[in-house]
Amino acid sequence: MAKSVHSPRMSLWERSYLPEIVRGLGRTIAHFFRAATGKNYRDKEHAWFLHQGNVTLAYPEVKRVYPERYRAEHRLMLRQDGQVRCVACMCCSTACPANCIHIVAAEHDDPSIEKYPASFVIDELRCIHCGFCVEACPCDAIRMDTGVHVKPFDARDQAYYDRNYLMARGELSAAVQGGKGHTP
Amino acid sequence: MLIETLIILLKIIIVLFGGAMTAGAVMTVVERKQSAWIQNRIGPNRANLRGHIMGPELLSSFRLGGLVHLAADGIKMIFKEDIIPARGNRFLHTLAPMLVMFPILVLFAVIPWMDYWCAGGDLIVIDYRDVCLSESTNAFSVADLDVGLLFIFAIASLGVYGVAIAGWASNSKYAILGGLRSSAQMLSYEVPMSLSVLGIVLIYRSLNLNEITRAQGDLLFGVIPAWGIFLQPVAFLVFFTAMLAETKRAPFDVPEGESEISTGYLTEYTGLKFGIMAMSEFIAVVFVAAVVSVLFLGGWQVPYLYGDGFHMPTPWLYGVIVLLSLGAAAFFFRAYRQSRGRLPAALSALAFLHGVLFVVAAMTQKSGFLALPYGLVVVLRIGAILFKTAVLVWFQLMLRWTLPRFRYDQIMRLGWKILIPVAVLNLIVTALVLIPFYR
């Protein structure tokens, strides 16, 4: 059955078109002057330079503040001696619904540390940023709290983040690891 | 003879390259910026004369608030590949952009940017008209034609040839549809345009644009300047609408209606040829603003300013002007307090200065006459027509970003069924009212 379309009947005032044009112009002119006189500056600090302060942010210079639990690029946390905190338990790669974490475990020289990841690669093209890896990690080794966007890639291999790249943003963790951890 | 030719050449260069072309180029950025402000966006400000610098080096970038995009656009247009459709007509396809741009540029010849130059400022004011006692020469318009208004109609209608040829030579269905639409639209709107402006001709009794402007210096009821917009408000609406339709921009931009016929007659144009077409549209906007300000807003006339200074018909006008400028100063100062912007601060200071100037004038000149040197009067008058043109350009852009595009049948209905009858009625009423004055 055909759908009936109701077109609203316009009053004579509206059909004469001119008053409605004036109304619309009033709206746009108000917006124009609000921008021109800088009434909706969001970023007061740069307002004088970007002098068209508006709802839009001037992105590379002005960045939006993300919420604390925003899931950004991964990083690997460090032990006190700068080694990787990860013990290659495979919890994260098991939890990962996108199968994007690839770990090759190896035996550590230090007998108190059983294993370490000889290779730790995250495929950022596959990652769905669900944060399950962070929740699965038993020793606070992987985090997504860098606040950094995943950058655009020119080639596929740039999307494979290796261990060194992930550790470059790493820090000490407040959590105690194996009874020998770091307590700040 | 040679000197005169050189002077005319100089005027052409100034008006063409200093005025029309520059205005058209600046319009490309102004339109994008203004639309951005209307839509709460920032608008173009990325192009940077010092290359790709970001982050902390914010200050070392050189962008002029987006004006650098002007150069970027120009360079892009020049270096883009010029494509001519394989089965299109090479000759006509190349000719069309020139045919579009040429009439628009020629039209600027008859705009009077100032009254005739009165040698040595040797003039007196009789009955609110300048009377030059020594030799007066046409110094501020390229061509002082006695049929200036007819010249405008004649040349403006040439523009349609370029568009129609562009549509045909492109060998594209979209382009030919765009060309046909624009021909029909421009022909339809020429009728109300001419009819509405006849009232102005009846009132000011001249086809010479400078004479029309001079006549607008009279006062109605001894107070209001006799501008066309006060005497012929209906004609102003009809003429402005018809002129908007002639520029082929929104809300009358069906010839390039993107949603149904790609970009109409521009579809098969690239590079500099496209640039010329787009640019002539912008220049047309500036021309419409200029000619409407000449016919309806008093052209170079500043209210109550005549060849030797301000003549206030009644002294209390000083009070009104002072109150208005102080009010404007207060308004802009409030905006400045909220935003700390430089533009409102400058505007506020300007308005305040204007008010103070007129307080001083009222205190010192009790008769309502404020003498000014002739040079200053000339500068004020040229400033007046440029200001009026700028305001009308701004207003046209405002309309363009407010109103959605008409449907094609709506455009035809508006032109033939509404504007033409209204223009004819306006002409008849004007003629009837003017009968006693022609005795």
pLDDT in tens, B166-196: 888 888 888 888 888 888 888 888 889 989 9
Record: contact A47-B341, CB cut-off 8 A: yes
Say yes or no to pLDDT of A146 above 80.
Answer: yes
**Per-residue confidence band for A49, with pLDDT thresholds at 50, 70 and 90:** very low
User: How close, in Å, is residue A52 to chain B by CA atoms?
Assistant: 6
pLDDT of res. B397 = 92
Q: What are φ and ψ of residue B247, in 5° steps?
A: -75, -10
**Per-residue confidence band for A180, with pLDDT thresholds at 50, 70 and 90:** low
For B12, B61, B284, the CA distances from B20, given in Å and listed in that order, are 10, 30, 9
Please give the residue of chain A at the shortest CA–CA distance from B336.
A37
Closest CA to B276 of B13, B28, B11, B63: B28
Closest CA to B282 of B44, B103, B13, B21: B21
8 A C-beta contact, residue A135 and residue A96: no
**Per-residue confidence band for A184, with pLDDT thresholds at 50, 70 and 90:** very low
Q: Which positions in chain A touch B340 (Cβ < 8 Å)?
A: 38, 47-48
User: How close, in Å, is residue B43 to chain A by CA atoms?
Assistant: 8
pLDDT of res. A50 = 47
Record: contact B401-A28, CB cut-off 8 A: yes
8 A C-beta contact, residue B225 and residue B216: yes
Say yes or no to pLDDT of A52 above 50.
Answer: no
B47 conformational bin, left if phi > 0, alpha if psi -120 to 50, beta if neither? beta
Provide the 3-class DSSP secondary structure of residue A177: coil
Cα–Cα distance measured from residue A119 to residue A101, given in angstroms and rounded to the nearest whole number? 10
8 A C-beta contact, residue A131 and residue A144: yes
User: How close, in Å, is residue B23 to chain A by CA atoms?
Assistant: 20
Cα–Cα distance measured from residue B39 to residue B41, given in angstroms and rounded to the nearest whole number? 5
Cis, bond preceding B251 (omega within 30 deg of 0): yes
Q: Which positions in chain A touch B52 (Cβ < 8 Å)?
A: none
Residues in CB range of A133: below 8 A, 6 or more apart: A74, A92, A93, A95, A96, A101, A142, A144
pLDDT of res. B51 = 60
Q: Is the ipTM of this complex over 0.90?
A: no
What are the tens digits of pLDDT across the range A10-41? 788 877 788 888 888 988 888 887 777 655 55
Q: Which positions in chain A touch B43 (Cβ < 8 Å)?
A: 52
Record: contact A48-B340, CB cut-off 8 A: yes
B330 touches chain A (CB under 8 A): no
Minimal Cβ distance to A39: which of B45, B65, B339: B339
Residues in CB range of A130: below 8 A, 6 or more apart: A71, A97, A98
Cα–Cα distance measured from residue A3 to residue B241, given in angstroms and rounded to the nearest whole number? 38
pLDDT of res. B387 = 92
Minimal Cβ distance to A51: which of B54, B341, B403: B341
A55 conformational bin, left if phi > 0, alpha if psi -120 to 50, beta if neither? alpha
CB contacts under 8 A, B 403-422 vs A, are: 403
Q: Which positions in chain B touch A30 (Cβ < 8 Å)?
A: none
pLDDT of res. A135 = 92
What are the tens digits of pLDDT across the range A83-135? 888 888 999 999 999 999 999 999 888 888 888 899 999 998 899 989 999 99
Quick one: CA dihedral B178, B187, B100, B68, positive or negative?
negative
Cα–Cα distance measured from residue B89 to residue B92, given in angstroms and rounded to the nearest whole number? 6
Q: Which positions in chain B touch A49 (Cβ < 8 Å)?
A: 58-59
Record: contact B402-A58, CB cut-off 8 A: no
Cα–Cα distance measured from residue A30 to residue A39, given in angstroms and rounded to the nearest whole number? 11
List residues of chain A with CB under 8 Å from any CB of chain B. 18, 21, 24-25, 27-29, 31-32, 35-41, 46-56, 58, 60-61
pLDDT of res. B341 = 66
Record: contact A61-B55, CB cut-off 8 A: yes
8 A C-beta contact, residue B313 and residue B219: yes
Cα–Cα distance measured from residue B141 to residue B116, given in angstroms and rounded to the nearest whole number? 9
CB contacts under 8 A, B 331-350 vs A, are: 332, 335-336, 338-344
pLDDT of res. A58 = 66
Cis, bond preceding B255 (omega within 30 deg of 0): no
Instruction: Report which listed range, A59-63, A175-179, B182-186, is most confident.
Output: B182-186
Cα–Cα distance measured from residue B164 to residue B100, given in angstroms and rounded to the nearest whole number? 10
User: How close, in Å, is residue A13 to chain B by CA atoms?
Assistant: 16
Residue for token pair 């006062």? B219
Q: What is the pTM of this model?
A: 0.79
Record: contact A40-B40, CB cut-off 8 A: yes
A147 conformational bin, left if phi > 0, alpha if psi -120 to 50, beta if neither? left
Minimal Cβ distance to A38: which of B34, B54, B341: B341
Q: Pull the structure tokens for residue B173.
A: 């269905």
Walking along chain B (439 residues) 10 residues at a time, the average pLDDT comes out as: 84 85 87 86 74 51 71 87 86 90 89 82 74 77 86 87 89 88 87 90 88 85 82 91 86 80 84 88 91 90 81 74 85 75 78 81 69 83 91 92 87 88 92 84
Q: What are φ and ψ of residue B361, in 5° steps?
A: -60, -45
Angle of CA points A114, A120, A125, to nearest 5°: 155
Q: Which positions in chain B touch A28 (Cβ < 8 Å)?
A: 38, 398, 401-402
User: How close, in Å, is residue B336 to chain A by CA atoms?
Assistant: 7
B436 conformational bin, left if phi > 0, alpha if psi -120 to 50, beta if neither? alpha
Among A28, A40, A41, A62, which would you mutate to test the B interface (most chain B Cβ atoms within 10 Å of its Cβ)?
A28
Say yes or no to pLDDT of A168 above 70.
Answer: yes
Mean pLDDT, chain A, rounded, equals: 80
pLDDT of res. A122 = 92
Cα–Cα distance measured from residue B274 to residue B28, given in angstroms and rounded to the nearest whole number? 13
Amino acid (1-letter code) at residue B26? V
